[in-house]
Amino acid sequence: MKANPPFGDDRDRKALIHALRSGEIAAIATDHAPHSEPEKDQEWEDAPYGIASIDTAFEALYEGLVKTNLVPLEILLSALSTRPAQILGMNHGIAVGNNANLVFIKENEPHVITSRMGAKNNPYVGKNSSAKIIGLMLDGTMVYKDAQ
């Protein structure tokens, strides 16, 4: 996987988990880089940095952090949604006057992670997860609904 910054070692991973649990890290974001297959299918030095991961981030993080009891679900959800919205000064949460921007998640739904965007440069595609995004609403309009 060629990403920038590069994936760290186990010590880096433990430090990031600790910082997330303690609140030192407030938000999780992806540097979604949906490069085409020809762009990535080059010599290592010539291939662009980045992976396409925005559509699989929750499922991968849920499996690696929540399912392993390293991070409570509430902290993960806050870092992926509530805190980024607060940082950006957006209305967040379910309240009168806020936009209906919702992600519908189903826990205990074992499945193989797939890319909803068809991205091939995603290391999480093909791995197992036990939580699934089943719907997405933006400004009150359902823009994604799982086929199952």
* Active-site residue list: 31
For the chain, what is the HEC assignment?
CCCCCCCCCHHHHHHHHHHHHHCCCCCCCCCCCCCCHHHHCCCCCCCCCCCCCCCCHHHHHHHHHHCCCCCCHHHHHHHHHHHHHHHCCCCCCCCCCCCCCEEEEEEEEEEECCCCCCCCCCCCCCCEEEEEEEEEEECCEEEEECCC
Structure tokens at 47: 């291939």
Structure tokens at 91: 């209305």
